[in-house]
């Protein structure tokens, strides 16, 4: 689970870089002001239950619940995390 959270943190850093790049362009080509990508985390007590990224421009999100990691390899990266990364990279291209 730690590798999943590390990968999610790298995706959040990528989203922050994209948000800063959009702000440097003075929000041209966006639907509003403020950060385009938002981090979503849900905690159940002190444990992380789910993580995700929300795109305000497209009104789209990718969510991954950590309960889905049960029985998976310790080093596997879920497809949802790759989808989160793709969501941000596609926005940089457009």
Render pLDDT for 15-45 as a digit per residue (tens, 0 to 9): 999 888 888 887 776 666 778 899 999 998 8
> Does residue 44 come out as left (phi exceeding 0), alpha (psi in the -120 to 50 range) or beta?
beta
Instruction: Report residue 3 as tokens.
Output: 């590798």
Q: What is the dihedral of CA 72, 76, 82, 85, to 10 degrees?
A: 120
What does the pLDDT read at residue 31? 64
Domain ranges for the chain: 2-93
């Amino acid at each position: 689970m730690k590798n999943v959270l590390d990968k999610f943190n790298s995706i959040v850093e990528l989203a922050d870089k994209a948000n800063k790049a959009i702000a440097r362009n003075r929000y041209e080509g966006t639907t509003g002001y403020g950060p385009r990508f938002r981090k979503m985390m849900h905690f159940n007590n002190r444990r992380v239950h789910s993580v995700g990224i929300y795109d305000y421009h497209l009104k789209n999100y990718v969510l991954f619940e950590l309960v889905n990691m049960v029985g998976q390899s310790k080093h596997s990266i879920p497809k949802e995390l790759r989808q989160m990364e793709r969501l941000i990279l596609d926005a940089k291209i457009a």
